[in-house]
A and B are shown apart, each in its own frame.
Chain A
Amino acid sequence: MTDRTPEPAEIPRKAPDERPTWIDDRKNVDRICYALYAVSAALLLVDPLIHKHGPFAIEHWWGFYGIYGFVGCVFLVLAAKELRKLVMRSEDYYDR
């Protein structure tokens, strides 16, 4: 027989006396974010020290890869949000 997946009632739930973990603390999440900002800044700062061999001029602009990655992802998410307006339907769309 193939695997049987559990019904929602069968899944163990959070115990009332569960102790919060390290990451449950909002401050620690903030710390992770600050670390990420610091690494990003560092990667931008070392950029001029890296000798790039590629044939395309744009690649030699300061911080090209970082800026392109950031702008690309923001565009991706905002465009996908717009796409939702066009293609999103209710979950049972094909069953009706």
Chain B
Amino acid sequence: MTAEMVPTGALGGLSPGLILIIGALAVPFLKEQARGPYLLLLPVLAFFQLMSLDHGLMGVVSVFDIELVTLRVDRLSFIFGTIFLIATLLSMIYQYHVKGWMEHTAGMIYAGSAVGAVFSGDLVSLFLFWEGTAIASVFLIWATRTPEAMAAGQRYLIVQVGSGVLLLAGTMVHYGQTGSLAFDSFDVETTAGLLIFLSFGIKCAFPLMHNWLQDAYPQATVTGTVMLSAFTTKLAVYALARGFAGTEILVPIGAVMTAFPIFYAVIENDLRRVLAYSLNNQLGFMVVGIGIGTELAVSGAAAHAFCHILYKALLFMSMGAVLLRTGTVKGSELGGLYRTMPWTATFCAIGAASISAFPLFSGFVSKSLIISAAMKEGYFVTWLVLLFASAGVFHHSGIKIPFFAFFAHDSGMRPKEAPTNMLIAMAIAATLCIGIGVFPGPLYAILPYDVSYHAYSLEHVITQLQLLIFSALAFTVLMRTGLYPPELRSTNLDSDWIWRKGGGWVLGRLEAAWRGASAALQQGAIRGVQRFVANLYKAHGPESALARTRPSGYMALWMTLLLGVFMLFAFI
């Protein structure tokens, strides 16, 4: 890898991610009053550093003979770095009221690792930051301190670290075969490419590798879930866009991701878990875009990740506020909260309109890039699936979340409105959602490729409204006819059953088999030892062959013979 040295930013070639991580280390030593402002300052500082950087490779560190590039700024890393820093700032405002240092420090290191990973120019740096996101983020789950959260955190950590191990394995194979550590595009048909692809796929919650997300995110703290929703999976989207753009298999993978989680979202009672399922569905759109791989499609994926981070964080923030004030986010227990939490309800509705891609909201200007790219390239079945998923996401996220939390049947609860800092964070996110929806120009300007796209043609607006309004009509008809399934307190089995129950069953079986085998082994071993001792006794006991005494003349004879043989060989 040849590093092209270019003029560096305000803080030299320091990665904005490292600013957050190094900054986070000081958090435990700060006084309570200073901690809040300091945490807001860090992402702002990192943002200024990013803005002052030229595009190119920087922050080159030599370790042994290997050159690591800790800072690669180009259009793809710039847009992801920018939105990650915006999400960091929003999260810090949202958790401003949280006392103590643990969550803040873990959250900041997590955000810094995600930003650092985005700017990594080589696979080793990527791996280090990749594992950094895994280890730091688990504390946001454990901070809930319930037994369920502890267990879910452990499962989450195993999956995340496992993804890192695959990445490391892929890196080593890739280095062995090509001699290069550069983090550029890979071929999924090579061993190294496949390992790296699977590593990214786990973090991106591909079908059947997805369930860590729905398992762990609803267990995190009120504020922690907001951070989790922003970074881990979108880092994986970035990594796929960097490494596997145009990889055909991503198109069907992404299409399945858009469609199957929404069935679960309809019947799930925990509203934060509903959001986790719809997060999975939104990732599917981005994965399809990356799989199609044209300039329009990859730009669409990046744009959608940008908008998605904002509206998904906004939705998780609103449900976090509900959880903070009522102690639950179960649809079956909530309802009628609009009376005393009108601002939270309004912001939630804006997030819902954005994820549903209503015209004038952010999702509309980004998702249509991907759907248009699918149409342009002639992916007919994929296009049908994406349309179905678009209608479905409005149904379960757009309507279900605000409806069951704030309207529906009156729960009788009249909780206080969310704390001011949470309302400010939600207001900024909501403003950005509408701002991007109304003026998409600035977002389109920072996409990875130059695309000339007009989201607001009459055709786009009317067809999208038809799709959405008729989804709402379906919801209304199903509600009024009583066909809509009620919210029930329940657990729905998903692929995590394989390791939570099935794994237990397999382990139980293995344990039983092991007990049997080890008993047999022990007995066999004891018998073996007994036989060995008996043989030893036969050879070395008082009556044995070795115990016999022989005259020393014997020895001299043998020595002479041996020496004779040696000399014979030496002369030959």
A residues near B, CB below 8 A? 1-3, 5-8, 11-15, 21, 23, 33, 36-37, 39-40, 43-44, 46-47, 50-56, 63, 65-70, 72-74, 76-81, 83-84, 86-95
Contact = CB atoms under 8 A, between A and B. Distances in A.
B316 to A, nearest CB: 14
A72 B462 contact: no
A68 B416 CA distance: 41
21 contacts: A2-B100, A2-B144, A5-B327, A33-B480, A39-B469, A43-B466, A55-B375, A65-B464, A65-B467, A68-B388, A68-B391, A69-B470, A76-B266, A76-B388, A77-B474, A83-B267, A84-B490, A88-B491, A89-B490, A89-B492, A93-B493
Given A88-B490, A93-B491, A80 B267 contact: yes
Contact of A76 (B395, B412, B488, B491): B395
Contacts of A77: 266, 395, 474, 478, 483-485
Nearest to B389: A72
Given A39-B469, A80-B485, 12 more contacts: A2-B223, A8-B327, A11-B414, A13-B413, A14-B413, A43-B469, A70-B470, A72-B392, A73-B478, A89-B492, A89-B493, A91-B490
A83 to B, nearest CB: 5
The 10 tightest CB contacts between A and B, nearest first, are: A73-B474, A80-B266, A65-B466, A69-B470, A66-B466, A5-B327, A69-B467, A70-B470, A87-B493, A66-B470
Given A50-B458, A56-B380, A89-B492, A80 B263 contact: yes
Contacts, number: 188
Contacts of B144: 2
B491 A94 contact: yes
Contacts of A66: 466-467, 469-470
Nearest to A68: B387
Contacts of A33: 476, 480
Nearest to A42: B469
Interface in B80-105: 97-100, 103
B369 interface: no
Q: Which of B388, B415, B459, B463: most chain A Cβ within 10 A?
A: B463
Contacts of B391: 68-69, 72-73, 76
Nearest to B326: A11
B395 A53 contact: no
Contacts of A90: 490-491
B472 interface: yes
A87 B465 CA distance: 34
Contacts of A11: 325-327, 413-415
Q: Which of A5, A51, A55: most chain B Cβ within 10 A?
A: A5
A47 to B, nearest CB: 7
B475 interface: yes
Contacts of B463: 50, 52, 65
Contacts of B267: 80-81, 83-84, 88
A91 B469 contact: no
B322 to A, nearest CB: 10
Contacts of B323: 5
A90 B490 CA distance: 5
B462 A43 contact: yes
Nearest to A92: B491
Nearest to B496: A94
Nearest to B143: A2
B266 A50 contact: no
A6 B263 contact: no
A53 B460 CA distance: 10
Given A2-B145, A33-B480, A51 B492 contact: no
B451 interface: no
Contact of B413 (A12, A65, A94): A12
Given A5-B327, A11-B327, A73 B471 contact: yes
Nearest to B467: A69
B98 A73 contact: no
B494 interface: yes
Contacts of A36: 469, 472-473, 476
B258 interface: no
Contacts of A56: 375, 380, 383
Q: Which of A15, A55, A67, A76: most chain B Cβ within 10 A?
A: A76
A51 B459 contact: yes
A54 to B, nearest CB: 5
B94 to A, nearest CB: 11
